[in-house]
Amino acid sequence: MIFAFFQNFWLEFLSPFIAIYGLLRLLNSNREIFFWTGFFIGILWFYWVSFSLIYFGFAYAIPLEILFFGFAYGIFFRICGHFKNLILRSVLLIGLAFFHPFSFNWLNLELILMPGIFEPDLRGISAVFAGICAFYYFKKFKILWIFVCLIFALQISQKNANFLPFEISLVTTEISQDEIWNKNNAILNVRENLHLIDEMIFKNKKVIVFPESAFAFYLNNENYLSEILKKKSEQITIIAGAEAYENGKIYNSAYVFDGGEMKRYDKFILVPFGEEIPFPDFAANFINELFFDGAPDFAKAKKISTYRLFDQNITSAICYEATRPEIYQNNPKFVIAISNNAWFIPSTEPFLQKTLIKYYATKSGATVYHAANFSNSEIITPKKMWIKEFLKKVKF
C-alpha cells in the first residue's frame, strides 16, 4: 500500500500487485517468516501510535511501544502461520480483519486493495488468496490460475457519490498538539475561528466545519462565546469540535450551532488507551492513577449521533469514530467527521486514516465531509472503478 501513499495514478495501479506478490511469498513460508512479517507490519503500520506519548510525558517509552506493536502482530501472524495448510493460513490471515485487540481495528488486509483495480472487500481478498493457493496446489498453468482468480477480485461496480445540496466549508488548521491547550493560544484560535466564520458568511457559505478540538476548552461552560456563536449561526451553521464538562464527566463532542441554537453530540466510540482504558474499572483506575495523574476516562454517548441539517440526515463522527464500521452500519448518505491528527505528526497516520474512511465509504456508499487539524480537510467519496478512470485519462 506504500505506493498509494504518493497519490499517483499509475503507482496506485501497481500497489495491490506488489502486495499480492508479497502475500504469495508469505503464504508458503515457514513460521519464523510469518512472525517477522507480522513484526515489521506491526511496526511500519502502527509506529505512529507511540508519538502521542510525547504529550503525556512518556517520550522515553516510544521505542518500547513501537516494539510492542511489532511483537504483538508478530505473534498474531505466527499463529496464522502455525498450520501448514495454505487454505487455513489464508482463512486466518483474512480473519485478522475481524480481530480487534482492545477494539483497535486498523489492521485489515482488505486495505491493500483500496488502490487499483480490485474490490476492497471480502470477495476481493478471498479471490486473491484463492489465486495464491491455486498457484501452489496446481502444478500446471500456475500463472493462469492466479489470473482467473484475480478476475473474480476485480471491482465491477461503484457506488455513486452524493453531495450535500449546499455550500460547505471544511476548515484545515495546523495547531501543534503542544500548543493546542495553551490558554493564550486558545484565545488566539477563538479569534481566528470567529474571523473565518465571518469570512464564510461574507462568501455566502451555508455551513462551516472546524476540526476536533477547534475550541480547546469546555465549550458548554463558555456562555459568552456560546452566545456569540449562536448569534452567528443565524447566518451560517457552525460545526466544531470541543470538549464538554457535565455532571463531573468529560466528553469529546461535536457542537452544532444552527439557527441561533446550540446542540452537542458526544463521541460514542472512544480511542482505546487514549480516551479510555479498555479494562475493568479497577484496572483502568489503577492505570489512570499511575500514568495520567488520576485523570478519569472520557465519558461517552449512549449511541452514535445523528442530526438534521437543511433537511439532510447527517451522521456525526469524531476522529477515530470515522474509521469504525459502526458509523457506517446503517449505510448513511452523509457523514460529517472532525479530527485532530496533531497527536501523530509527522507520520503516515493521516494517510492510513483517510484510507480507512474511504474503505468504509466504499462499502456503505457514504460521502464523508472531513475537517482535520494537521492533515488535509476534504470530501471523501466511495472508490471509483480504476478502469473507468483509466479510460477518462487516455480519452477513449
Residue 279: Cβ-neighbour burial (10 angstroms; 0-12, 13-18, 19+): middle
**Residues 232, 267, 358, 363: which is the catalytic one?**
267
212 as an active site residue: the answer is: yes
Phi (first) and psi of residue 254, to 5 degrees: -110, 125
184 three-class SS: helix
149 as an active site residue: the answer is: no
**Residues 65, 110, 212, 275: which is the catalytic one?**
212
Strand order in the sheet with 334-340: 306-309, 312-318, 334-340, 367-373, 378-380
Phi (first) and psi of residue 30, to 5 degrees: -80, 175
The x, y and z cell numbers of residue 153, run together, are 477480485
Residues 6+ apart with CB under 8 A from 141: none
The x, y and z cell numbers of residue 152, run together, are 473474480
**Residues 319, 321, 358, 383: which is the catalytic one?**
319
Residue 248: Cβ-neighbour burial (10 angstroms; 0-12, 13-18, 19+): exposed
| Cα–Cα distance for residue pair 286/281, rounded to 1 Å | 8
CA quadruple 274, 279, 284, 288: dihedral sign: negative
Residues 6+ apart with CB under 8 A from 163: 367, 379
Task: Report whether the peptide linkage leading into residue 346 is cis, meaning its omega lies within 30 degrees of zero.
Answer: yes
Phi (first) and psi of residue 321, to 5 degrees: -55, -35
319 as an active site residue: the answer is: yes
* DSSP class of 145: H
5-352-210 Cα angle (round to 5)? 110
> 115, 6 in Cβ contact below 8 A?
no
- The catalytic residues are 212, 267, 319
